[in-house]
Amino acid sequence: MRLEASWYMITIFSVLLIGIAFSIGLYIWSREFYLKHRVAIRKIYYGVVVATSFFLWAFNVFPDVGAKLEYLIALVISVVIIDLFVFQTPDITKFFSNELKQESLVESINKNRGTFIELSEKLIKVNELMPKSDQKWHLDEFEFTPEKYEEFVLSYLRNFTSSFQLDVYSYLVESSADEVVFHNNIVSAYEEILKDHNFGLREVGMRKNQVIKTLLEGENIEILEKDCSSVLFPYFGEYYNLLFVVSSRKGSEVTGADASLMLNMLYTFDMWLLSNEDEFLSDDEWDGYEEQEDNIEDRNEE
């Protein structure tokens, strides 16, 4: 089959090339707009192809393939290929990418299966450490001071982390009704964390201002190191505020799910302590605690 360079064939291919160039330019200009109207663009494309074929046939100038039917098949396939690789490029590339990544997907599924098993074990461990409804938490000489509180919750969390080859560290953040002062207190605690653990911008993945904003919003931050991983998360409790760093040892892994489990443990402890605080607070301590709460409320009203 031989296509003659007649004026109508030149016109048809010119319009087709202009349409393809326009669609590519539209995709570059606004990918969102292109994807939103891609169905309409494809309908226009096939409409032009069908209309062109009809007029060529009507004026008896359709390319004569003779007995070579494969030429006509090749022409139809070329039309479809243009649709796939030009108008459906995002979808077709995803399809090929998924095909090539099938092996890694299977490996990922197997890894996730192990993660689910480990998470189940951690949930069971958390349940074991939680006080049952008919049991009391046994606290030896517990005092409502920041140091004693931090010491106890750190020991409490280590009962969990030691079972999964994790290390946990705590950093007390002084409370304040003044938002600026409280912000600076978190900055100071974070700077201490950077100094103790040698975390840098590459490991944390965000600058200091973004880290502080994330912590103030109560979200955790996963930190990737060369041989291990860590999670930094805040706890704004009923009594005190702390930042915690949980690091994995070699052969183990820590994620945001571990932070969520430990936050649940901390909230449970605070709720239990809140309902039994009259057993641990002396009259003077109770008056001082109430006065502190009143002062904070007054500053908030101001």
292 and 157 Cβ atoms separated by less than 8 Å: no
Output the 3-class SS for the chain: CCCCCCHHHHHHHHHHHHHHHHHHHHHHHCHHHHHHCHHHHHHHHHHHHHHHHHHHHHCCCCCCCCCCHHHHHHHHHHHHHHHHHHHCHHHHHHHHHHHHCHHHHHHHHHHHHHHHHHHHHHHHHHHHHCCCCCCCCCCCCCCCCHHHHHHHHHHHHHHHHHHHCEEEEEEEECCCCCHHHHHHHHHHHHHHHHHHHCCCHHHHCCCHHHHHHHHHCCCCEEEECCCCEEEEEEEECCCCEEEEEEEECCCCCCCHHHHHHHHHHHHHHHHHHHHCHHHCCCHHHHHHHHHHHHHHHHHHHC
Find, among 90, 80, 94, the residue nearest to 36 by Cα. Answer: 90
φ and ψ of 173, to 5 deg: -115, 120
**Do 192 and 262 belong together in one domain?**
yes
**Do 91 and 161 belong together in one domain?**
no
> Using alpha carbons only, what angle is made at residue 110 by residues 107 and 111, rounded to the nearest 5 degrees?
85
Find, among 53, 38, 40, the residue nearest to 86 by Cα. Answer: 38
Average pLDDT over the chain, rounded to an integer = 75
φ and ψ of 288, to 5 deg: -65, -40
**Do 140 and 286 belong together in one domain?**
yes
Rounded CA gap, 46 and 294, in Å?
A: 74
Tokens of 226: 């060369």
Q: What is the pLDDT of residue 99?
A: 47
Segment among 22-36, 52-66, 253-267 with least mean pLDDT: 52-66
- Bridge partners of 167? 247
Q: What is the pLDDT of residue 97?
A: 52
Q: Is the pLDDT of residue 277 over 80?
A: no
Q: What is the pLDDT of residue 245?
A: 94
* 85-137 pLDDT per residue, tens: 566 655 545 544 554 455 555 566 555 555 666 677 777 787 777 766 556 66
Q: What is the pLDDT of residue 293?
A: 54
Which residue would you say has higher pLDDT here, 172 or 282? 172
**Do 79 and 159 belong together in one domain?**
no
For residue 86, tell me if it sits in a domain: yes
Task: Tell me the residue range of the domain where 288 lies.
Answer: 135-301
Torsion sign, CA atoms 148, 138, 122, 251: positive
For residue 2, tell me if it sits in a domain: no
* 136-174 pLDDT per residue, tens: 666 656 677 888 889 888 988 998 888 888 999 999 999
For residue 17, tell me if it sits in a domain: yes
Which residue would you say has higher pLDDT here, 43 or 10? 43
**Do 167 and 255 belong together in one domain?**
yes
Mean pLDDT in residue range 46-57 = 77
Q: Which residue among 49, 76, 100 closes a domain? A: 100
**Do 139 and 86 belong together in one domain?**
no
Domain at 206, CATH number: 3.30.70.2720
Rounded CA gap, 134 and 136, in Å?
A: 7
Per the structure, the count of domains in the chain is 2
Q: What is the pLDDT of residue 204?
A: 87
Q: What is the pLDDT of residue 75?
A: 65
Q: What is the pLDDT of residue 213?
A: 93
* 181-204 pLDDT per residue, tens: 999 999 999 999 999 998 888 888
34: how many CB neighbours lie within 10 A of its CB? 19
Q: Is the pLDDT of residue 285 over 70?
A: no
* 228-271 pLDDT per residue, tens: 889 999 999 888 999 999 998 776 788 888 888 899 889 988 88
Query: Quick one: pLDDT band at residue 35, thresholds 50, 70, 90?
Result: confident
Query: Quick one: pLDDT band at residue 63, thresholds 50, 70, 90?
Result: low
**Do 141 and 96 belong together in one domain?**
no
Q: What is the pLDDT of residue 173?
A: 93
Rounded CA gap, 192 and 225, in Å?
A: 18
For residue 110, tell me if it sits in a domain: no
**Do 234 and 181 belong together in one domain?**
yes
> Using alpha carbons only, what angle is made at residue 54 by residues 53 and 55, rounded to the nearest 5 degrees?
95
Q: Calculate the CA dihedral of residues 261, 262, 264, 268 and round it to 10 degrees.
A: 140
Q: What is the pTM of this model?
A: 0.56
For residue 18, tell me if it sits in a domain: yes
**Do 84 and 139 belong together in one domain?**
no
**Do 79 and 31 belong together in one domain?**
yes
